[in-house]
Structure 1
Amino acid sequence: MRKLLSLVVPVYYEQEVILQFLSETKTVLDQLDIDYEYVFVDDGSKDKTVEIISEQAKSNPKIKLVVFSYNHGKAAAVTAAIANAKGDYLLYMDPDLQDPPIEIPRFLEEIEKGYDLVWGIRSEKKDTFLNTLFSKIFWGSLNKFTGLDIPKGIAVMRIFNRSFADEFLKYNEANRFIEGIFINISKNWKTIEISQRERFAGKTKFNFRKKMQLAFDAIFDFSELPLKMAVRIGVVISILGFIALFVLLFLKFFIIDFESGWPSIIASIITGFGLQLFFLGIVSLYVGRIYKEVKRRPNYSIRNKININE
């Protein structure tokens, strides 16, 4: 019995690339000895993305589509795609064709060797200088502050088996950092180098602000480092404060008699108040995440499904 490969593809304002993505992937997949399906999840696009995929799905039952009620974020879209995929193997990729479909056979070859997960690693990032720099800052800060040890230069394109997908779906947290969850599930993974292309059309939606937001989310989700840093900084400031107080008293009683100045007092009060707000903000972020988790709300809401049998 031939195995089934599910392409899990989150989409968001991708009307310019969908047809080309379907064309290129079909050319590759039709040459392989494997059944396949597409599982698209639209994350609230307002262009013709849903219309184009829906039209293609009418004549091709391999094309499946989940339409969110509104934008929930890429992590939710990936989760919904995995939840609705039926494949023995699941290949996660973006439709922008930066990770070329011609690499699909290599991913299948490696996953069939018994790995749970195979990451794609970019041999060279085909992007602007600023986006490349932002990516390096993003992944560098991520590994440094979370200790997740995520492979450097990972691409979106990766493949994993059915048991890995089932384990992933057991992670029900509202704050979802996909790469962190993947690393937590299994250490039985491998990386392969792939040649990345220029984006086929359109502009990336994953800008510097979103990358840094994702980095902060990962740090707060997978590390207690901000809380530990707050404690350490508080201890250091307290020690410096006691030293400064001792020095001032020593100077006043043994060296020089001086008048205490209001500016120094006001500056100390403002600095102390600012630090308190900073540390309180860190704690509040953690409390907010806990509040979000305990409500146990669904990670996404679905407006429509096409070609998907429950």
Structure 2
Amino acid sequence: MTDLIHKTGARAGTEDARMPPPGITAMIPCYNEIDCVERAYQEIQTEVGKYDDVELLFIDDGSTDGTLDAIKGFAAVDPRVKYISFARNFGLEAAFSAGFKYASKAWTVQFDADLQSPPHEIHRLVAKAMEGYDVVFAVRENRRDPWYRKLGTWAHQTIARRWLGIELPQGASVFRIVRTSVARKVVDSRLSTPYFIATAPLIGARYTTLPTEHHPRVDGVGKWNLRKLFPHAIELFVGFSFRPLAWLIGLSAAAVAGGAVISALALAGQLSQLAVGLAALVTSLVTLMLLTVVARYLVRVMRVQAIGVPRYQIREANIPIRADEALYGHETPYVVAEVWENVS
């Protein structure tokens, strides 16, 4: 099996390839994963525990089913277990953004609580990263997901790469190892869309992909569906390319020119009322499409301007957290002012 599918940037020298295993944060975002979280903890800590300097950082994304209580149980008996619990469900992007920000080790491995990407593959990701990469994305071999998820991922990544000129590692998943300092640059970039696999190449991170095993979900219910996948793709397209806007402007210009010709023909009595009506309908649809896309770009600009709006708020944690990211401010346990001195 070929280890390398795609890469950018120069590889580091042979000295990097001989580096000892690094300090590792195993970051596990969770949202209503009570059926999976016990098994996830056991299997992840078994594999991560083979390294000397590790922590397990659970990000509870506002779960309502007892997931947080289970995580607290792990922390009570295992000092390596750290957790952050959001005030509500803020989404996966917010969860991994917090995880990268508060990871205390030099490297962070992002896992899924459903264990569809088996934890034992971490060792191959670490070995690949030690060859001189900042990010190694796992590519799921023989992906065991519903057909619409596989088709949706392939379609939106292909459109982004080939049509919109967005640099993406094809097939990259959220199972990945990232140099923590680089990950923080990504999540602190304050782009309109926190789309990690598109932002990492944008800032110049050296990345590659690695084929890894993929298993079907054993317990619990998947959180992704078509209702979430479509907006996720639109966020990528609008957040990282202006080509959709350029295309629609060209289409609008063509519609205006066509409308002028049709109007002239109608005044000359060369077209029926039905033809004129159909032409007006097409022009209205093009205008509506243009307004919709422009509105999405305006939202993008507003997000960039809204620097003071937090991506998430933390209700509780067992590690130092920033006061401005704590729902109850300084009343929240473990709140500190000098966050980077405490978590870097």
When residues 286 and 189 of structure 1 are mapped into structure 2, their CA distance, relative to the original with a 3 A threshold, is same
Question: Given the alignment of the two structures, is residue 303 of structure 1 paired with residue 322 of structure 2, yes or no?
Answer: no
Match of 1:102 in 2: 120
1:187: how far off? 4.5
Question: Given the alignment of the two structures, is residue 13 of structure 1 paired with residue 24 of structure 2, yes or no?
Answer: no
**More displaced 10-residue stretch of structure 1: 281-290 or 128-137:** 128-137
Bigger relative contact order, structure 1 or 2 (CA pairs below 8 A, ≥6 apart): 1
1:57–1:307: 8 Å Cα contact kept in structure 2? no
When residues 291 and 307 of structure 1 are mapped into structure 2, their CA distance, relative to the original with a 3 A threshold, is closer
Find the partner of 1:146 among 124, 148, 164. Answer: 164
Residues 42-77 of structure 1: CA deviation (Å, up to 9, x unaligned): 111111111100111111121111111111111011
SS at match of 1:86: coil
Find the partner of 2:296 among 282, 285, 306. Answer: 285
Match of 2:246 in 1: 228
Aligned equivalents of 2:81, 2:122: Cα separation in 1: 18
Question: 1:49-60 alignment to 2 at 5 Å?
Answer: 49-60=67-78
SS at match of 1:52: helix
2:265–2:271: 8 Å Cα contact kept in structure 1? no
2:61–2:90: 8 Å Cα contact kept in structure 1? yes
SS at match of 2:152: helix
SS at match of 2:169: coil
**More displaced 10-residue stretch of structure 1: 44-53 or 261-270:** 261-270
Aligned equivalents of 2:288, 2:178: Cα separation in 1: 44
SS at match of 2:104: coil
Aligned equivalents of 2:290, 2:35: Cα separation in 1: 45
**More displaced 10-residue stretch of structure 1: 140-149 or 208-217:** 140-149
Match of 2:206 in 1: 188
Residues 255-281 of structure 1: CA deviation (Å, up to 9, x unaligned): xxx586544444444433333232122
Question: 1:84-103 alignment to 2 at 5 Å?
Answer: 84-103=102-121
Aligned equivalents of 2:183, 2:284: Cα separation in 1: 47
Find the partner of 2:226 among 208, 222, 231. Answer: 208
1:112: how far off? 1.5
1:163: how far off? 3.0
1:235: how far off? 2.0
1:173: how far off? 3.2
1:209: how far off? 2.2
2:255–2:283: 8 Å Cα contact kept in structure 1? no
| 1:84 alignment partner AA | Y
SS at match of 2:73: helix
2:74–2:81: 8 Å Cα contact kept in structure 1? yes
Find the partner of 1:128 among 143, 146, 150. Answer: 146
When residues 245 and 36 of structure 1 are mapped into structure 2, their CA distance, relative to the original with a 3 A threshold, is same
SS at match of 2:89: coil
Find the partner of 2:182 among 150, 164, 167. Answer: 164
1:116–1:160: 8 Å Cα contact kept in structure 2? yes
SS at match of 1:6: strand
When residues 5 and 167 of structure 1 are mapped into structure 2, their CA distance, relative to the original with a 3 A threshold, is same
Aligned equivalents of 2:186, 2:212: Cα separation in 1: 25
Find the partner of 1:45 among 63, 68, 90. Answer: 63
Aligned equivalents of 1:108, 1:273: Cα separation in 2: 54
Structure 2: 5+ residue stretches without partners: 1-19, 321-333, 335-341
1:116–1:186: 8 Å Cα contact kept in structure 2? no
- Normalising by structure 1, report the TM-score: 0.89
When residues 233 and 202 of structure 1 are mapped into structure 2, their CA distance, relative to the original with a 3 A threshold, is same
Identity %: 24
Match of 2:48 in 1: 29
When residues 41 and 145 of structure 1 are mapped into structure 2, their CA distance, relative to the original with a 3 A threshold, is farther
| 1:134 alignment partner AA | G
Aligned equivalents of 1:304, 1:50: Cα separation in 2: 10
1:102: how far off? 0.8
1:120–1:155: 8 Å Cα contact kept in structure 2? yes
When residues 180 and 23 of structure 1 are mapped into structure 2, their CA distance, relative to the original with a 3 A threshold, is same
